[in-house]
Amino acid sequence: MTFSPCSQITNHKSQIVFVLAIAFCTLAVCASRAQDARGPDAEEAADFARRAAFAAVRGPQKIFLESIDADGILSRLIGGAIWGQLTERQQALLRSELREHFAQALAPVSGSTAEVAWASVASGAGPLMRVDLGLRYGAELLKTRWSVRRTSRGWTVEDIALVDPGLSLADQMRLVLGPRAVEPRTSLAQVRAHALPRLLGLAAIAALVLIVMRRLPRDRRLLLWLTAAVPALLFAVDGWLAVRRASAERYVLAEALPQRPWRALESTALEAQREGLSEQARDAWTRALEAGAPRAPVYYQMGLAARSRGDLAEARADFENALRERPPAPGAAKEMASIALGERRDVDARAWLERYLTEAGPDPDTLATLAVIQTNLQDGAAAVAAIQSARTLVGPDGQRAELEAQVYARTGNAGAAVEALRPLAAEGRVDRAALRADPAYLPIATDDAWVAFLAETPAVPPRTSTSGAPPRRP
């Protein structure tokens, strides 16, 4: 959710502009140095994660699927000793299930566009690196944390977390497989179970042949035997293969994945939220909890539903529940900050945002909002530091110019936001339709300078990315 704190900072607008002017004049060099300080491993990890994420949301899917360390994840979930004793056929089935689970979690809605908006390395030491990526789906932004590791075959994805609801895709795979996904095979019983249906089939064919043969003349009985031999041979071969496989496989996979009754209820709740039916959404979320859904993400969604209908007391209670669960839903802290900011409790809003950044890692939107709050609290140095951190995330100059425009928009300074975007507009790198839909610019949506800028006819058509690399945002 994007904050719109403009109404709370009108008394400090001149101070904010002054702080921003100082910050944006001095941070280009600082951002460059910060980028270099992260080291080559961090740079490689971030680049690998960005490309894997781009493949996940834009294609080709094969690149993303092959980047996932399916064997490592499944080995941790079901046990290394068991995983090593599964046959190649069984391992392939489980790999396919895991990769589909990851792909579905990040796939954009059919017909929509998606991109990698920003990247940040959350840790820069040790074999496991954590890279925070913002994935933009239309006007919505999904904050993700990618755990990647350098192996003998290059970088691989160990896990992907959906940060705000606190969901780990690897941990969720445990629920997908269920507690009895792989079980030891009881050899004699399993062989009997596979052989018995085929033997009964052979017996049925033989009985049918004997019954029919009595009614046929002798010269046609050979044809009957030849006809019956075909299905009998199929039954025999199938039985032999099944028994051979049962004897070779020390473990057996579950015939069907366990049912997760809360999944349908979650879909119902999300659809109700999209349609603004908050009461129906809350009822569906409550039933999902009762059905065994992960608690922290559900409390987080219930809080969003309560807040959307204006029930702040209920929203606070839900967000606090989401933060008490283990693991928590870090996004609840950001929502608590948003509520505090709306009530002009800047000190509380800062505390909640700082907690969110500690648990969820940085992102440009949260850091820019924190900079505004720090300025409200007369802490110019902290505001500059927050903006510096935000600018190191978005990378290229065009992205930094957009961040600058968004921060000016939060201060209500439409003129400065327009001037920040002018160089990009001259190069055809501004999509005015996207700007109209971007909630970051809501505080200046009706300002004459902003309206006039959006109404201008572009001198150069907006560029689109056709390469295989993650595109730059306009």
Residue range 401-416, pLDDT digits in tens: 777 787 778 767 888 8
147 and 67, same structural domain? yes
Most confident of the following: 188-192, 245-249, 431-435: 431-435
Q: Buried b vs exposed e over 323-343: b needs ≥16 C-beta within 10 Å?
A: bebeebbbbbbbbbbbbbbbe
47 and 179, same structural domain? yes
Residue 472 belongs to some domain of the structure: no
Q: pLDDT band for position 91 (50/70/90)?
A: very high
Residue 469 belongs to some domain of the structure: no
Residues 134, 152: contact at Cβ < 8 Å? no
The CA distance from 295 to 360, in Å, is 18
198 and 210, same structural domain? yes
Residue 353 belongs to some domain of the structure: no
Q: How many domains does the chain have?
A: 2
Residue 55 belongs to a domain with what CATH number? 3.10.450
363-390 confidence digits (pLDDT tens): 888 888 888 888 888 887 887 788 777 7
Residues 252, 85: contact at Cβ < 8 Å? no
Most confident of the following: 22-31, 65-74, 437-446, 451-460: 65-74
Residues pairing with 143 in the sheet:
134
231 and 142, same structural domain? no
Nearest-10 Cα torsion for 305, 309, 314, 319: 40
| pLDDT score for 3 | 36
| pLDDT score for 469 | 37
Number of helices (H), then strands (E), belonging to the chain: the values are 21, 7
**Parent domain of 102:** 41-163+165-183
105 and 83, same structural domain? yes
Residue 471 scores a pLDDT above 60: no
